[in-house]
Structure 1
Amino acid sequence: MQLKSLATAKMSAKAAALLAAGALTLTACGGGSSTPAASEGGVKLINAGKLTVCSDIPYEPFEFQKDGKTVGFDIDIANEVAKDLGAELNTVDSSFEAIETGTALTQCDVSISSISITDTRKSVMDFSTPYLDDDLTLVANTGSGIKSLDDAKGKKVGVQQATTGAEYAKDKGIEAQQFEDTGLLVQALQAGTVDAALGNQSVLGYAIKDDPKFKSVEDFATGEKLGIAVKKGNTAMLEKVNGTLKRLTDDGSLEKFKTTWFGQTAK
């Protein structure tokens, strides 16, 4: 119950912030005196001199707070995109529901938050070239008796809401408990509130790597690939983002980022 209340409070806070930003955007557009977006290197930015990035925090090791700063694999990439634009990085904490529906792009130039590329999401936003392969996994307490997804039926399984993991659980007949972010999901797993968690290998594998009480019991080859999202039709920004990803791939930086945050397991 305590975790559920915390998740609800956090979701409400993020939703309120997003709605407020949306209201400001609508106000600016409605009076005929709206200020056009600032331009950096031929790309229009919402805020002059800043690349505003929406991200669901925490989602280790992609984005999380450490020593008062937002860090992680996605943040390293976001910093490189900002650098190529000659802009400062401005990270906005948004709910993943707002990110995966494209709503977050009303207040951000791009969304970088371990977003799996799906046909449904492609209908409301445009995606960069993929920057990471990330299939699903089922993680369970070693004393739970869960060794497969079939074993998990009838048990307490947690997922992050609005994710491919949540959709996969539903398709497989798992009545999962949904959490607003993976931080709360991992807390529930560690506290024993849930017996298992279903989600992306990168995040859940990172969360349990130093804890012998948990293990990955089954992987699911879903072919998921992660991409950076931009507003539908924003080809100038998309080209810049893809240019940065190509540079990072060609000079080996992307591989270094993967090793830093995932070890040798990321693809």
Structure 2
Amino acid sequence: MSRTHHRVVAAASLCTGALALSGCAVIGGTSSSKAVGSDEHLSSSYQLVEPGTLTVCSDIPYPPFEFEQDGKITGYDIELVHAVAEKLELDVDVIDSSFEAIESGASLTGCDLNASSISITEARQRVMAFTSPYLDDDLVLIARKDRGFTSVEGLEDARVGVQTATTGAEYATEQGLNVVQYEDGGMQVQALKAGNVDATLGNQTVLLYELKDDDRFEIVEELPTGEQLGMAVGAEKAQLLSAVDRALQELRTEGKVAELQDKWFGHVQEAYR
């Protein structure tokens, strides 16, 4: 996958307790913020790859989380990242990376933050530090209606498309399915549409979004794995993790997380209302 860079300058943020380098005063019922640190101070505190910029690794395309539209990178993760960066008074640089590099933590050698629909797992927690969850996301099995599948157990020798290095791929392999792996979610979905695989298995937010308008396909089985998505930083970046996590919690309290869920998924999960 080619690597592309996209920079968007975040607007000045409201006051947030996540920044130890900001001073805050409440005047007449409104908050005002005064930064007392420079880009160099922020880099020192958060150990940023580039001073004053939050460099984010994301696997593109992976709608509705991250994808290109009208020449710009957008999606649920991307809008949430910009909202976090606004809280931290940082610019944003989004770097296209393979999900394999992201989930292994390898991408964090060149990025400050991994934000790419990453399910929080014990294995991944051993190589990077996660924020609190910002979305719940179980797995789902989808196939053509005319195939007559009724469950995972009934797939037998059917070819099942998955995305490499994902929890869907891990689950399908554990179930002994005849797995066909694809580098990204877009290729996985296209393989199903083209008839190159008999079914596809992955996170429901992505697959249901991609196939919602195609009546050739149906949900064969929903797989409640209890997965939750989080953003992640390098294990050594404790201050950055604390700041990003605080920003996410503020955005959740303010209703921004719910707003973005409604915008991109058409509903708000109960835990985030």
The question of a shared fold, defined as TM-score above 0.5 by the shorter chain, is answered with: yes
Q: Which amino acid aligns with 2:42?
A: E
AA matched with 1:190: K
Corresponding residue of 2:200: 197
Which residue does the alignment assign to 1:209?
Answer: 212
Equivalent residue for 1:31? none
- Give the secondary-structure state (helix, strand or coil) at the position aligned to 1:243: helix
CA displacement at 1:38 relative to structure 2 = 4.4
Number of residues paired by the alignment?
A: 235
Distance of 2:210 and 2:190 partners within structure 1? 10
Question: Is the partner of 2:218 in helix, strand or coil?
Answer: strand
Residue identity (%): 48
Counterpart CA distance in 2 for 1:245 and 1:208 is 29
Say if 1:38 and 1:44, in contact at 8 Å, map to a contact too.
no
Unmatched tracts of structure 1, length 5 or more: 1-9, 18-36
Maintained 8 Å contact 1:81/1:240: no
Question: Which SS does the other structure have where 1:176 is aligned?
Answer: strand
SS in 1 for 2:165: coil
For the residues of structure 1 that align with 2:109 and 2:64, how far apart are their CA atoms? 26
TM-superposed deviation, 1:180: 0.2
Q: Distance in 2 between matches of 1:187 and 1:74?
A: 22
In 1: Cα distance, 2:97 partner to 2:213 partner: 28
For 1:183 and 1:120, the matched residues in 2 are separated by 25
Verify the 8 A CA contact 2:258 2:268 in the aligned structure 1.
Answer: no
For residues 212 and 241 of structure 1, the distance between their equivalents in structure 2, rounded to whole angstroms, comes to 40
> How do 1:117-128 and structure 2 match up within 5 A?
117-128=120-131
Q: Bigger radius of gyration, 1 or 2?
A: 2
Answer yes or no: is the 8 Å Cα contact 1:38–1:46 preserved in 2: no
Pair 1:223-2:226 in alignment = yes
Partner of residue 42, structure 2: 40
1:252 is aligned to 255
Q: Report what 1:140 is aligned to.
A: 143
Counterpart Cα distance in 2 of 1:246 and 1:236: 15
TM-score normalised by L of structure 2: 0.83
For the 8 Å contact 1:230–1:237, the answer to whether it is kept is: yes
Corresponding residue to 2:91 among 75, 81, 88: 88
Change in 2 beyond 3 A, CA 1:63/1:198: same
| CA separation of 1:163 and 1:52: change in aligned 2, threshold 3 A | same
Partners in 2 of 1:39 and 1:192 — Cα distance?
A: 54
Does the CA-based 8 Å contact 1:40-1:85 persist in structure 2? no
SS in 1 for 2:196: coil
Match among 77, 80, 83 for residue 77 of structure 1: 80
Aligned residue identity for 1:69: K
Assess, with a 3 A threshold, how the Cα gap between structure 1 residues 154 and 95 changes in structure 2: closer, same or farther.
same
Deviates more, 1:141-150 or 1:201-210: 141-150
Evaluate the alpha carbon distance shift between residue 169 and residue 259 of structure 1 in structure 2; reply closer, same or farther with a 3 A threshold: same
CA distance in 2, matches of 1:123, 1:86: 29
- Specify the SS of the correspondent of 2:54: strand
Matches of 1:150 and 1:265 in 2, distance apart?
31
Q: How far does residue 150 in structure 1 lie from its aligned partner after superposition?
A: 1.6
CA RMSD of aligned residues (A): 1.6
Q: TM-score scaled by structure 1?
A: 0.85
What stretches of structure 1 move > 3 A for 4+ residues in a row?
A: none
| Structure 1 residue 40, shift from structure 2 partner | 2.4
- Aligned pair partner of 1:163 in 160, 163, 166: 166
